[in-house]
């Protein structure tokens, strides 16, 4: 067994990582992926505000249980933290982690607004620590196959990109409906198609119009947005918590259309389907199964070790946060105008 003294010295050379919170995604997906990458990561500990919850998680994944987030952040034998906490408390805990010199992989959305994101990115730059926002789908081989198709001209010149991610109603007591915790479809479901826009079309697109439907309590339930650049290419996204299930990206070109199904949530054993439609022809391709959680962790390790990669993720966090804020701003303006005098 590795001693605390050996861990403090980091003799193994692995990234020693802790998990800040026992969220479902941490237990179901991220902790198994960390254990799978035993050559790059060592899962040291998991923290919960409840001792029994931490103990159960730790027993399952052969790591230490810690009661209280503060205790985990303060540990000297941890290099990085995975943060699956609700968005509304990210600014505090990511800030604490940065102050303690920890690299941070945080679930989306990274922060509640652009001001928080910018403050955290600036602090991370000063501390020379990596930050990464948890859009794992970007590291599935499906995205590579799509990019290859586009680069090879399978649909001709790009004319429009559309992405949608929405699902049936969540339980009424789900934390995603709690505005204080950063709830709402905008900071949750919208992030996926929005991140896909900048991934495939570049960061230069600007949000031109947006809509949001809110609950009586003010929580965003569903919405849409239109983005455009200076080259005549537009993009639209649609998202929601109260929708017929959609999880796809559509690339419409001068000669054809490419559709990527299950674009955001393909499980490790699932083979997502691509459809290429051209004049009088439809080609279907099943992409090999892949674990995008493993891919994302490999990218995180790269960001930790490589300054250029680290700064690329700083920029991506800010582009994403700025666009989400603009959607909120334009949607609020549209709502006021619709209400009239």
Active site residues: 108
Q: Which two tokens stand for residue 142?
A: 């499906």
CA angle 166, 172, 176 (to 5 degrees): 55
Please state at what angle helix 114-127 crosses helix 307-339, rounded to 10 degrees: 170
Query: Which residues fall within 8 angstroms of residue 194, CB to CB, at 6 or more apart?
Result: 163, 225, 237, 320, 323, 324, 327
Q: Which residues pair with 204 in a beta bridge?
A: none
Structure tokens at 258: 């490419």
C-alpha of 327 from chain center: 17
Where is 65: in which H helix or E strand?
strand 64-67
- The residue behind tokens 């994302």 is 296
Q: Enter the tokens of residue 239.
A: 């998202």
First-to-last alpha carbon distance for the chain, in angstroms, is 70
| Strand ranges, E, within 218-303 | 220-228, 234-240, 246-253, 256-261, 273-278, 281-286
Q: What is the rounded distance in angstroms from the CA atom of residue 231 to the CA atom of residue 161? A: 13
Rounded Cα–Cα distance for residues 33 and 38 (Å) = 9
């Amino acid at each position: 067994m590795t001693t605390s003294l050996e861990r403090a010295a980091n003799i193994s050379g692995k990234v020693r990582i802790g998990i800040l919170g026992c969220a479902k995604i941490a237990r179901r997906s991220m902790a198994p992926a960390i254990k799978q990458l035993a050559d790059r990561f060592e899962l040291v500990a998991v923290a919960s505000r409840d001792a029994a919850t931490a103990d159960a998680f730790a027993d399952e994944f052969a790591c230490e249980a810690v009661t209280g987030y503060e205790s985990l952040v303060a540990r000297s034998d941890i290099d990085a933290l995975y943060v699956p906490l609700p968005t509304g408390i990210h600014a505090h805990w990511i800030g604490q982690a940065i102050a303690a010199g920890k690299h941070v992989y945080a679930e989306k959305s990274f922060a509640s607004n652009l001001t928080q994101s910018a403050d955290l990115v600036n602090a991370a730059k000063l501390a020379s620590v990596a930050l990464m926002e948890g859009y794992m789908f970007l590291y599935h081989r499906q995205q590579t196959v799509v990019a290859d198709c586009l680069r090879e001209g399978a649909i001709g010149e790009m004319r429009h990109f559309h992405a949608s991610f929405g699902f049936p109603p969540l339980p009424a007591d789900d934390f995603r409906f709690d505005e204080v915790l950063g709830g709402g479809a905008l900071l949750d479901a919208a992030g996926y198609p929005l991140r896909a826009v900048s991934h495939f079309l570049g960061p230069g697109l600007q949000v031109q119009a947006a809509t949001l439907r809110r609950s009586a309590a003010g929580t965003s339930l569903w919405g849409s947005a239109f983005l455009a650049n200076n080259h005549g290419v537009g993009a639209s996204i649609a998202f929601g918590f109260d929708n017929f299930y959609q999880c796809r990206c559509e690339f419409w070109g001068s000669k054809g259309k490419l559709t990527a199904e299950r674009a955001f949530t393909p499980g490790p054993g699932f083979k997502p389907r691509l459809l290429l439609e051209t004049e009088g022809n439809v080609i279907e391709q099943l992409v090999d199964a892949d674990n995008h959680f493993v891919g994302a962790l490999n990218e995180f390790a790269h960001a930790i070790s490589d300054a250029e990669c680290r700064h690329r993720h700083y920029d991506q966090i800010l582009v994403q946060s700025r666009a989400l804020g603009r959607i909120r701003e334009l949607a609020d303006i549209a709502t006021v105008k619709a209400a009239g005098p």
